[in-house]
């Protein structure tokens, strides 16, 4: 019996494996927003909102949004839980990619990667350079494949979220999800 992902598996105009529409998980990393959430206040999440809007604009579905503190264990646990879910094809974290002591999103997510995608961080910083100049070198944005799921770790600013999602993540994620799960597709060897 085909899984839901198998029902969404196809090839693009170039014959590349794709999953479309994608089911997305978003993790916002922010101790101050998590603290507001703990007090019962409705935390604002402009970075997460921007990511969701970018995916939805291309017909994809956000299945889960989580808000966690700037804490290695919390971030890793949230991402590990999402990549284990069969209804999540791609995960994007926002926040915690800078150079302060509590910016640990790259370490927490990359500890789960089976394969790194170094081209993502390289290209994101090049695009950021065009927008914000030398401050782009402070970004430690990264990506990789964890449990056959593309995971992207990007800064928390709305500008960074928009650049990363519109120019890199949303256009390429259907193909990455297709490639990462191809070995488990119907009729193919694992």
- 129 preceded by a cis bond (ω within 30 of 0): no
pTM: 0.91
Per-residue pLDDT tens listing for the chain (190 residues) = 345 888 899 988 888 899 999 999 999 999 665 555 555 666 789 999 999 999 999 999 999 999 999 999 999 999 999 999 999 999 999 999 999 999 999 999 999 999 999 999 999 999 999 999 999 999 999 999 999 999 999 999 999 999 999 999 999 999 999 999 988 665 544 3
Residue with tokens 């597709």: 185
CA dist., res. 49 & res. 67, Å (int): 12
User: Which positions ≥6 away from 46 have C-beta within 8 Å?
Assistant: 158
User: In angstroms, what CA-CA distances link 27 with 8, 52, 145, 182?
Assistant: 24, 11, 16, 25
At 58, is the secondary structure helix, strand, or coil? coil
CATH numbers and ranges of domains, the chain: 19-180 (3.40.980.10)
CA angle in degrees (0–180, nearest 5) for 138-95-129: 35
């Amino acid at each position: 019996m085909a899984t839901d992902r198998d029902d969404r598996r196809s090839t693009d105009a170039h014959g590349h494996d794709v999953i479309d529409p994608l089911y997305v998980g978003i993790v916002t990393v922010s101790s101050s927003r998590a603290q507001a959430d703990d007090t019962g206040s409705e935390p604002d999440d402009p970075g997460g909102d921007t990511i969701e809007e970018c995916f939805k604009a291309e017909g994809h579905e956000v299945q889960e949004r989580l808000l966690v503190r700037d804490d290695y264990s919390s971030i890793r646990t949230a991402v590990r839980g999402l990549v284990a879910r069969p209804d999540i094809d791609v995960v994007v974290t926002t926040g915690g990619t800078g150079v302060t002591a509590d910016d640990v999103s790259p370490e927490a997510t990359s500890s789960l990667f089976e394969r790194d995608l170094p081209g993502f961080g390289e290209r994101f910083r090049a695009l950021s350079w065009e927008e914000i100049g030398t401050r782009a070198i402070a970004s430690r944005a990264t990506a990789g494949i964890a449990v056959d799921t593309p995971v992207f770790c990007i800064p928390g600013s709305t500008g960074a979220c928009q650049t990363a999602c519109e120019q890199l993540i949303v256009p390429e994620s259907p193909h990455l999800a297709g490639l990462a799960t191809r070995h488990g597709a119907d009729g193919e060897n694992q």
